[in-house]
Amino acid sequence: MSTGRRRATGAGDATLRCFFSGTDTHPIYVDRFAARRPVSAGQVVMVHGGFHTGVCYVATPDGRPGWARRFAEAGYDVFVPDWPGHGRSPMRPDFRILSCVQVAEALIALLEHVGPSTLLVHSASGPIAWWIAERRPELVRSIIALAPGPPANLLPVLPDDPVAVAALNHDDSHGRPIYAPEDKPVWINSEFVASSWTSSPRFPKHAVAEYCRSIVPESARVLNERFNIGGRGLRIEDPYSLRGLRILIMTGDCDPRHPRAFDQATAEYLGADFCWLADRGFVGNGHMFMIEDNSDALAALALEWLAR
Q: What's the pLDDT at 253?
A: 98
Please, are residues 25 and 1 in contact by the beta-carbon 8 Å criterion? Answer: yes
- 178 CB neighbour count, 10 Å cutoff: 23
- Domain 18-307 in CATH: superfamily? Alpha/Beta hydrolase fold, catalytic domain (3.40.50.1820)
pLDDT of residue 1: 38
Per-residue model confidence (pLDDT) at position 166: 83
CA atoms within 13 A on the CB side of 15: 0
The answer to whether 57 and 122 are in contact (CB under 8 A) is no
The answer to whether residues 256 and 171 touch, using CB atoms and an 8 Å cutoff, is no
Domain boundaries in the chain? 18-307
Q: Specify the pLDDT at position 4.
A: 66
pLDDT tens-place string over residues 77-119: 999 999 999 999 999 999 999 999 999 999 999 999 999 999 9
pLDDT of residue 169: 77
Please tell me the predicted confidence (pLDDT) of residue 72: 96
Which residues of the chain are modeled with pLDDT < 50? Answer: 1-2, 9-15
What pLDDT is stored for residue 178 in this prediction? 86
pLDDT score, position 248: 98
Q: Give the global pTM.
A: 0.94
**Angle between helix 100-114 and helix 125-135 axes, rounded to 10 deg:** 60
Q: How many CA atoms lie within 13 A of 159 on its CB side?
A: 8
CB-side neighbour CA atoms (13 Å) of 203: 22
